[in-house]
Structure 1
Amino acid sequence: MQQSVTLPNDLSKLAPAGIKTYVLDTNVLLHDPTAITAFAEHRVVIPMTVLEELDHIKDRRDKSVSREARIAIQMIDKVVGSAAPQAIQAGVDIPGSTLSGDLGRLAIFPDQLLDASDNVPFLDSTQDQANDNRIINVALKYQSEHPGEFVCLVTKDINMRIKAKGSGLEHVEDYRHDRVLDDIDLLATGYKKSAGDFWDGILEVDTVREGSITLHRIPRVELPEAYPNQFLYDDNGFISFVDHVDADYVYVAVDSRDNLMNQRFWGLAPRNLEQAMAMRLLDNDDLDMTVLTGPAGSGKTLLALAYGLHAILEQKKFSKLIVARSTPPMAEEIGFLPGTEEEKMAPWLAAFDDNLEILHGADECAFGSIDYVKERANIQFKSLNFMRGRSFNGAYIIIDESQGLTQFQLKSIISRVGADSKIVVLGNLAQIDNKYISPLTSGLTYLVERAKPYPHAGIMHINGIVRSRLAAFAEENL
């Protein structure tokens, strides 16, 4: 016999969530060309002004921005392709916006038809602010026509968010879909320090032999946050390395501080433990990629360059050393500089010449040594704009100042790495010069978190500032 269950009077059934409307600004699509698929089952509105701005931007000489604009336009075209004009204005299903259930819908709003006669507090369309105001007006129009519904303007422009709020728009947000962390302090560092004795916190451990290596096998429940190639150490001098991880166990290889501190690359010795751990990752032949983060002056570039010379000239592991970095505003300026690509890149890559001088400054003929090393190591300076579409085999590749790159840009660069190559990605999240990127949305942050579980990638955050005591003061206090 079936019995009925009576709910307490203070419990009420939740109302089903309604469809939300998101009006996207141009900078959202430039930041993430696939953003139209990021709003699940909800409605995405693209104002005509945004399409006009994308049309202007796709022909810019700034290749990185124009490329994102073209991709965004192609994404929109795939969705609205053969739909009728009335259907496009009403909304067309967005393939891939949800894994199951109702798809999201994309609508193009003809904001050029809006005028001040409508019963909506529109912003005026003065020439200086015409585009921003027209996009805000679209959100205001939707809000007035759909009272009680959630209508939100999504933009990465802080001032535009303030203007929209001040104009009466109830919901205004930054684009957060590309955030991989809630707090930058949670970013993986590549190591974990235990207070006291490391083994005091381990209840169960046994020893296994894999090939020529003896490993300590620790249940995953003891080290739930461990990931491959992470260092574990304590206050008593113990240090170990996570060799690999499976569903049930973490396999740890014990190392020693002396072994780490006695490493040498091209005459360079580590000056702190974090540099030593970074050197161990760089010299690990099983790692195809190493990501080094840290403040200015922590030695990231010097370590990467020293290992490159060591691996090419002494160990013969690679045939060339390729150095590249983000160079805003590259497209407008590089063409006006004389010389070859390497000579055009020289102003932006002077830091590598400075580090070569550090490595060879004590030589009897320093400049002669530097030129000789550049030629012998086949050092090539490249612009990131010209790396796309190429494949680099047998190369040691350094990507410097990567904190200003988007997730999409970093992916397109790393996918260029060919056989028998290693890539080292360097960056300082405190020195982002892209106005649409924050530490939480940087491609470097995305790369660190996504590469963390990959067994052929290593991560290391180098904290200690060794450039000078003045550099340390500036980093901490200015």
Structure 2
Amino acid sequence: MPLPKMPTRLATILPVPDKAPALNRRAAKTAAAHSVATLPESPANEQVQPELQGLQSVPIVARAPRKNGARKTTANATPVLLQPAVAPAPAPAPAAEAEAAFDIPAAAPVTPVRAKAIAAKPRAAERPRLFVLDTNVLLHDPSSLFRFEEHDVFLPMMTLEELDHNKKGMSEVARNARQVSRTLDTLITDDSPIAEGVPLSGLGNREARGRLRLQTEAMANALPAELPVGKADNQILGVVHALQQRYSDRDVVLVSKDINMRLKARALGMAAEDYYNDQVLEDADLLYSGILQLPEDFWNRHGKGVESWQQGGSTFYRISGPLCAKFHVNQFVYFEGSMPLYAQVREVTGRTAVLQTLRDYTHSKNNVWGITARNREQNFALNLLMNTDCDFVSLLGQAGTGKTLLALAAGLTQVLETKRYTEIIMTRVTVPVGEDIGFLPGTEEEKMLPWMGALEDNLDVLNMGDGEPGGNHGGEWGRAATMDLIRSRIKVKSLNFMRGRTFLNKFLIIDEAQNLTPKQMKTLITRAGPGTKVVCLGNIAQIDTPYLTEGSSGLTYVVDRFKGWPHSGHVTLQRGERSRLADYAADIL
């Protein structure tokens, strides 16, 4: 008897439980052709149900044939309804999702089965976002349009109206408003697809992969009646609410620097966020301090193979170890133990670093214009201020830590004694603590004198030394002559007239730098010409400029960006040295 031909389809029939009816060939053939068979939920299915009560489901694993070179798909343990040979039933329709798998015991009652969806609903974090910008975001950062990566940006018509209201004047806000208007004019042309959205990468900003959308029609305002419609903030909130209804498949987020507007948006069930692109750090406690305390086992782990040499009156050490990779150039390290060390990092190469010992400015023989350091941090600061190779120095600290006094003492010594710089230029932001007193008469320097009370106070301290440079050898007459000499070498300038200038061989002191924006800080530092040293002083806990925080201040910005540059240094002063009353008040108030 000849052998049967090889089957063209591969099928595996699982073992049939006891008492199962025999499988007829037609049912098995139908099951092999349809690798997955389910019953759709329809009225016809309800009529078939009474006729299927005596049937039994047998798990069958079938492999579908290859179509046009496609990959084979296998449905594992898919229940196929089979009938006895005496009464053939119509073949059930194949399911829409053949890849779905179901595992139903053989003895389970037969019920309609719905295929499982293949593509799950995208998570909220993966959904596209539409950012609605408030006017204060554009006035704060004119380039904020290009800071949202692949997400789209929406500008309400009220935002454009407020930009138009703020474009007049010579203030920083007016300049930013005009810059945003020029950017929008260049980006949106006559043939731009405004309805579909204008690509933000049209001006060469490759990081901006989204589109700019403008409000082109009136949107229904469904806000509560208690919110006045005529207010600009409420109109923007109405636009956000309408966009949420229109784009239900996207996350519509309001971006505003106004805290109260964000609170109202959240109270109305809208997503609202602050503008974080200008935030250098989320936590001010993580700001680079410029000082690192070495662990107790430092010499045990880094003391092997230490090289030392003398150069220029300083001692250098070349050490190797795991901690060296965490050092920054010009960072101060100290170890107070059996073998104390106070040094500055001069070079970092992998796991090897070169440390240079410091000059002790706490000793009277190393005084700077009659001033000596009273604590460890002040000693570090004077080493930076007196270092001729350090072009940029930033000093942070609370009130009374001696920032201005140390900077002026170092400046006067290098201007009047060593002749390294020709004069001292001092400037600061004119942001009042309380109500403004109005216009001030006089020239530029006379207008700035009321803002320079700290300069006058520190000059009095520097001119009261006895037997030191700037001292009162000649009594009142000598003190007055010295003060006149000092004043002739100190110039007080306003920030309003800094643009376009270049300072040659100057000692530039920027006081109260925490009130500067990153853009203003860039404008000032780029004024430095050959031989100029820039010193930034400030306390990020005392910010008076609106919309500036500890994380977005220009002082925080430069401290983080200049970290590790070989010609810059930073020190955070810790201890107040003004008086015991000032120190106690700073702690308890």
Q: Tell me whether the two structures share a fold, i.e. TM-score over 0.5.
A: yes
Aligned to 1:278: 381
Q: Provide the C-alpha distance between the structure 2 equivalents of 1:401 and 1:147, rounded to a whole number of angstroms.
A: 47
Q: How does 1:98-117 map to 2 (within 5 A)?
A: 98-99=206-207, 103-110=209-216, 113-116=218-221
- Pairing partner for 2:548 from 417, 437, 446: 437
Q: Does 1:311 align with 2:414?
A: yes
- Pairing partner for 1:189 from 270, 289, 302: 289
Superimposed CA distance per residue, residues 85-117 of structure 1 (whole angstroms, 9 cap, x where no aligned partner): 6x2353211125544xx8121222257x3354x
Aligned AA (1:382): K
Aligned to 2:98: none
Distance 1:217 1:474, change over 3 A: same
Q: Does 1:472 align with 2:583?
A: yes
Segments of structure 2 that go 5 or more residues without pairing to the other structure are 1-70, 77-100, 102-117, 466-471
Q: How many residues align?
A: 460
Aligned to 1:400: 511
- Secondary structure of 2:395's counterpart equals strand
Aligned AA (2:160): L
- Pairing partner for 2:523 from 409, 412, 423: 412
Superimposed CA distance per residue, residues 208-231 of structure 1 (whole angstroms, 9 cap, x where no aligned partner): 769767643345742332111101
**Relative contact order, higher structure (CA 8 A, sep 6+):** 1
Distance 1:282 1:144, change over 3 A: same
Q: Provide the C-alpha distance between the structure 2 equivalents of 1:250 and 1:75, rounded to a whole number of angstroms.
A: 47
Superimposed CA distance per residue, residues 203-257 of structure 1 (whole angstroms, 9 cap, x where no aligned partner): 7554276976764334574233211110110222311110122455322223465
Aligned to 1:42: 151
Measured after TM superposition, the shift of residue 57 of structure 1 is 2.0
Q: Provide the C-alpha distance between the structure 1 equivalents of 2:252 and 2:577, rounded to a whole number of angstroms.
A: 50
Q: Provide the C-alpha distance between the structure 1 equivalents of 2:250 and 2:415, rounded to a whole number of angstroms.
A: 62
Q: Provide the C-alpha distance between the structure 1 equivalents of 2:223 and 2:447, rounded to a whole number of angstroms.
A: 53
Q: Does 1:76 align with 2:188?
A: no
Q: Is the 8 A contact 2:514 2:554 kept in 1?
A: yes
Q: Does 1:223 align with 2:324?
A: yes
The more displaced of 158-167 and 247-256 is 247-256
Superimposed CA distance per residue, residues 339-375 of structure 1 (whole angstroms, 9 cap, x where no aligned partner): 1100010111111011001111353224443222111
- Secondary structure of 1:324's counterpart equals strand
- Pairing partner for 1:174 from 274, 277, 281: 274
Q: Does 1:342 align with 2:452?
A: no
Superimposed CA distance per residue, residues 372-411 of structure 1 (whole angstroms, 9 cap, x where no aligned partner): 2111x2x111111211221111111000001111111111
Q: Is the 8 A contact 1:395 1:420 kept in 2?
A: yes
Q: Is the 8 A contact 1:124 1:133 kept in 2?
A: yes
Aligned AA (2:368): F
Q: Provide the C-alpha distance between the structure 2 equivalents of 1:211 and 1:299, rounded to a whole number of angstroms.
A: 31
Q: Provide the C-alpha distance between the structure 1 equivalents of 2:380 and 2:485, rounded to a whole number of angstroms.
A: 30
Measured after TM superposition, the shift of residue 333 of structure 1 is 7.0
Q: Does 1:373 align with 2:486?
A: yes
Q: Provide the C-alpha distance between the structure 2 equivalents of 1:105 and 1:323, rounded to a whole number of angstroms.
A: 45
Q: Is the 8 A contact 1:228 1:244 kept in 2?
A: yes
- Pairing partner for 1:67 from 175, 192, 195: 175
Q: Provide the C-alpha distance between the structure 2 equivalents of 1:398 and 1:144, rounded to a whole number of angstroms.
A: 54
Q: How does 1:2-401 map to 2 (within 5 A)?
A: 15=122, 17-61=126-170, 63-80=171-188, 82-84=189-191, 87-95=193-201, 97-99=205-207, 103-110=209-216, 113-116=218-221, 124-127=227-230, 130-169=231-270, 171-196=271-296, 198-202=298-302, 205-207=305-307, 215-219=316-320, 221-236=322-337, 237-247=340-350, 249-255=352-358, 263-328=366-431, 336-361=439-464, 363=472, 364-365=475-476, 366-375=479-488, 377=489, 379-401=490-512
Q: Provide the C-alpha distance between the structure 2 equivalents of 1:435 and 1:226, rounded to a whole number of angstroms.
A: 35
The more displaced of 37-46 and 48-57 is 48-57
Q: Is the 8 A contact 1:120 1:144 kept in 2?
A: no
Q: Is the 8 A contact 2:302 2:321 kept in 1?
A: no
Q: Provide the C-alpha distance between the structure 2 equivalents of 1:343 and 1:382, rounded to a whole number of angstroms.
A: 10
Q: Is the 8 A contact 1:184 1:440 kept in 2?
A: yes
Q: Provide the C-alpha distance between the structure 1 equivalents of 2:130 and 2:463, rounded to a whole number of angstroms.
A: 60
Over aligned residues, Cα RMSD in angstroms? 3.1
Distance 1:442 1:122, change over 3 A: farther
- Secondary structure of 1:66's counterpart equals helix
Superimposed CA distance per residue, residues 96-148 of structure 1 (whole angstroms, 9 cap, x where no aligned partner): 5544xx8121222257x3354xx666884455xx1111222222121111113
Q: Provide the C-alpha distance between the structure 2 equivalents of 1:154 and 1:222, rounded to a whole number of angstroms.
A: 41
Which one has a bigger Cα radius of gyration? Answer: 2
Q: Is the 8 A contact 2:425 2:506 kept in 1?
A: yes
Measured after TM superposition, the shift of residue 74 of structure 1 is 2.9
Distance 1:247 1:97, change over 3 A: farther
Q: Is the 8 A contact 1:79 1:106 kept in 2?
A: no
Q: Provide the C-alpha distance between the structure 2 equivalents of 1:173 and 1:88, rounded to a whole number of angstroms.
A: 26
Measured after TM superposition, the shift of residue 258 of structure 1 is 7.0
Q: Is the 8 A contact 1:301 1:426 kept in 2?
A: yes
Measured after TM superposition, the shift of residue 175 of structure 1 is 0.9
Segments of structure 1 that go 5 or more residues without pairing to the other structure are none
Aligned AA (2:402): G
- Secondary structure of 2:394's counterpart equals strand
Distance 1:204 1:313, change over 3 A: same
Superimposed CA distance per residue, residues 151-190 of structure 1 (whole angstroms, 9 cap, x where no aligned partner): 1101111111111111221x11111111222321111111
Q: Is the 8 A contact 1:123 1:137 kept in 2?
A: no
Aligned AA (2:428): R
Aligned AA (2:462): L
Q: Is the 8 A contact 1:392 1:416 kept in 2?
A: yes
Q: Provide the C-alpha distance between the structure 2 equivalents of 1:210 and 1:246, rounded to a whole number of angstroms.
A: 20
Measured after TM superposition, the shift of residue 58 of structure 1 is 2.5
Distance 1:108 1:338, change over 3 A: same
